[in-house]
Structure 1
Amino acid sequence: MGTFKLIALSNPVEGKDEEFNAWYADEHVADILAIPGIRHAERFRLATEKGKYKYLAVYEIEADDVNVPLTELRRRLRSGEIVLSESMQQDDVLLGAYATI
């Protein structure tokens, strides 16, 4: 069983920080944690004035093959089981999966 981190960098739509953070905390994190293999989530806000992305989410994944939970995540997004908020800039999200070394 391997341990991985899924990193998500994102921004809210201008002026919608409060709505974005409420959706993320109250809905989105639970949706992601419902995927088998995704065990833990942490969120961070940019601490400096400069940076392209204002928010960072780090999800811990435990799986033999990281592609299994990631494929399920994509499936749930495509099917509408996971709905992204209109308060998030959906056209500029950076995702990456990393293996523990």
Structure 2
Amino acid sequence: MTAYSLVVYSKPVAGREDEYNDWYTNVHLGDVLKIPGITSARRYKAAAGQDQTNPYLALYNVETNDITALFTELSRRAAAGEMVISDAMAEANMVIFEAITPEVTE
């Protein structure tokens, strides 16, 4: 298996931040974690004083031998309505990173 990190930068529609956060945390993370190969997820918000262009970050850990198939399944579920995308999200930018070293813990 190859390790990847799926990084998603996003922002809510103006005035709908609470709705966006509720959907992302309580619906979307669970929907994404149902996709085989996505092993964990965590959300972050830009700390005070940082660039607020896309102030939210979701980081997903992925282990798969076929990243293309994983993205195909992600797209299929969104198109089929199996993974609802809230209209409270204004925009999102997704980048996948492939691990080039083992995880370092010490």
With the length of structure 2 as denominator, give the TM-score of the two structures: 0.88
Residue identity (%): 37
Unaligned regions of 5+ residues in structure 2, if any?
Answer: 101-106
Normalized per residue, which structure has more strand? Answer: 2
Stretches of 4+ moved more than 4 A in 1?
none
Cα deviation, residue 21, structure 1: 0.7
Residue-by-residue CA offset, 1:43-95 (whole Å, 9 max, x unaligned): 10011342310100010110012112111001111111111112111xx3111
RMSD value, Cα = 1.0
- The CA distance in 2 between the partners of 1:2 and 1:11, in whole Å, is 29
In 1: Cα distance, 2:72 partner to 2:59 partner: 17
In the alignment, does 2:100 pair up with 1:86? no
Larger Rg: 2
TM-score between both structures, scaled by the size of structure 1: 0.92
Q: Counterpart in 2 of 1:67?
A: 68
The match for 2:16 is 16
Equivalent positions of 1:48-67 (< 5 A) are: 48-49=48-49, 50-67=51-68
Whole-Å separation in 2 of the counterparts to 1:35 and 1:85: 18
2:98 is matched with 99
Deviates more, 1:49-58 or 1:2-11: 49-58
Aligned partner of 1:64: which letter?
N
CA distance in 2, matches of 1:56, 1:46: 8
Which whole-Å CA distance do the structure 1 matches of 2:3 and 2:28 have between them? Answer: 22
Q: Which amino acid in the other structure matches residue 23 of structure 1?
A: W
